[in-house]
Amino acid sequence: MIGRRAPGSGKCSLLIVLLGTLAGCSVGPDFERPAAPDAKGYAREGAPAQTVKAEISGGEAQRFVQGMDIPAQWWTLFHSKPLNDLIEEALKNNADLAAAQAALKVARENYYAQQAVYYPSIDAGFNASRQKNSNTLSPTLAVPGIPYFNLYNSQVNVSYVLDVFGGNRRQVETLEAQADAQRFQVEATYLTLTSNVVAAAVQEASLRGQIAATEEIVKVESEQLDILRRRNALGDASGADVKAQEAALAQAEATLPPLRKQLALQRDLLTALAGRLPADEVAEKFDLGSLALPRDLPVSLPSKLVEQRPDIQAAEANLHAATAQVGVAIANMLPQITLNANIGSVATQANELFMPGNGFWQIAGGLTQPIFEGGSLLHKTRAARAALDQAAAQYRSTVITAFQNVADALRTSQHDADALKASAAAEQAASDSLAIARKQLQLGDISYSALLNAEQTYEQAVINRVQAQANRFADTAALFQALGGGWWNRAERQAQCFHCNRPGTS
């Protein structure tokens, strides 16, 4: 999957050094984009056509559409205005996203700054001094007997390093690749932020559903306890039945504080994601009934996934930078040629500074060849090659993880749909069983312990159904995140990005 090759001009001949310095060459391997994995799909059995349907809100069947593009604002497919508003606020105020964007500016400016090596360095200077000759030395001036004098010197210096072996070009290439990596890090931060907001909103909706279901259970248990106490007073129910119902009520009430604690923590998380302090809690609240389950889910082609995932693109850019750094290390072992020139004028009077005869100039060239550096240049080159191997392995690992994420999201979407269907059926069956048990208890056909078992079964079925509903929404968000989140379709990115290409284009 990782390809490297040394260019044909990798070794510059002495003739090129002496006669073709302007053309130059670049030592070290040239970067080649890794080929996309040769994979037909994300699972051996292939992607499912659609999920099963459950006759309940949030239980709609979802179709998996091969090659379907992902909208930039994929979260709008949940049709929740509070969710849209909260994500919009998070994108404006989240500090992590702002930090990633600032880091991108740093990387860009470093890249632009490094491009200065392509041009000569020109400096201008002016010096004025008051001096005195020593009586024991020859006079500085041509006229003897004048110990005190003023000296004015103005000059322009020009220096240029010939990039014969491409070390400077490789360094520019490195910084450009690093800027690309940071650009995709911004996209990854953007995707992570929006996905985290959706996941947190879904979790809040799940907790609210569980709390509502538990509060309803507590209400039913309290009513049942009141009935049993009245029956006990009339001698129609035993004290043991009353105590058992009190225990059941206490057990149901004990499940509420942990749920409410989780909800409070989830609210704090949403507030932090929106860039606020905890005391300034966001106004948006979420419940499962306010979210719509998208019917059509995209399944990108495996060959496109490597172009859509920002973490893969960042890993590729890091691989590119590591490749260029090998060239930098090799170039540092080769001769460095520098050209220098300066022109100026010297006079003892400021008004004579630019008069004929006071000017001077100098042109010089130098060649420096490292001979002995204690082995540091050799080891730096070996380190650069090892860093390239490391970047290649990290790229492969990132690709494998990305494919795993998509496979997991597809399997989870399918199996959690099955789980919701089963949970909905279990809840309905438990509800019917509880209704029958209550009637049987009134007729004296069953003991109170049998009713208590039916109630506990129903309580757990309600909680399981709420959790299964929330999982369907969370699965959808996870799939959009695993496939890259549609960052390539954002209008503001197309207007502001750095060397941007849409996935699938060059």
Which residue spans within 79-198 are E strands per DSSP?
A: 121-132, 148-162
Q: Cα dist. 418→48, 145, 364, 469, 479 in Å? A: 13, 108, 80, 11, 17
Crossing angle of helices 167-233/448-482, nearest 10°?
Answer: 160
- Per-residue pLDDT of the chain (506 residues), as tens digits, is 333 333 434 444 443 444 344 445 789 999 999 999 988 888 887 777 889 999 888 889 999 999 899 999 999 999 999 999 999 999 999 999 999 999 999 999 999 999 999 999 999 999 999 888 777 777 767 666 677 888 889 999 999 999 899 999 999 999 999 999 999 999 999 999 999 999 999 999 999 999 998 998 888 888 888 988 988 898 888 888 889 889 989 998 999 999 999 999 999 999 999 999 999 999 999 999 899 999 999 999 999 999 999 999 999 999 999 999 999 999 999 999 999 999 999 988 888 888 888 888 899 999 999 998 889 999 999 999 999 999 999 999 999 999 999 999 999 999 999 999 999 999 999 999 999 988 888 888 887 778 888 888 888 898 999 999 999 999 999 999 999 999 999 876 544 454 555 554 44
pLDDT at 221: 85
pLDDT at 497: 52
C-alpha 61/C-alpha 295 separation (Å) is 7
Q: Which of 67, 15, 50 is nearest to 301 (CA)?
A: 67
- 56: amino acid identity, one letter: I
The answer to whether 466 and 288 have CB atoms below 8 angstroms apart is: yes
Q: Which domains are delineated in the chain?
A: 4-9+24-496 (1.20.1600.10)
Token pair, residue 386, equals 């090892």
C-alpha 199/C-alpha 285 separation (Å) is 13
pLDDT at 142: 65
pLDDT at 144: 67
Token pair, residue 152, equals 């004015």
Sign of the torsion angle spanned by Cα atoms 103, 109, 115, 117:
negative
- 444: amino acid identity, one letter: G
For the CA atoms of the chain, what is the radius of gyration?
Answer: 37
Which residue spans within 26-104 are E strands per DSSP?
A: 30-31, 63-66
Q: Is 371 helix (H, G, I), strand (E, B) or coil?
A: coil
Q: Is 335 helix (H, G, I), strand (E, B) or coil?
A: coil
Token pair, residue 92, equals 């404006």
Q: Is 268 helix (H, G, I), strand (E, B) or coil?
A: helix
Q: What is the pTM of this model?
A: 0.85
User: Apex CA 130: angle with CA 125 and CA 134, to 5°?
Assistant: 125
Sign of the torsion angle spanned by Cα atoms 40, 41, 47, 49:
negative
Owner of token pair 């005869």: 357
- 265: amino acid identity, one letter: L
Exposed / middle / buried, residue 185 (Cβ in 10 Å: 0-12, 13-18, 19+):
buried
C-alpha 194/C-alpha 282 separation (Å) is 16
Owner of token pair 């992902």: 70
C-alpha 404/C-alpha 381 separation (Å) is 35
Which residue spans within 133-210 are E strands per DSSP?
A: 148-162
The answer to whether 367 and 340 have CB atoms below 8 angstroms apart is: no
Phi, psi for 301 (deg, rounded to 5): -65, 140
pLDDT at 23: 45
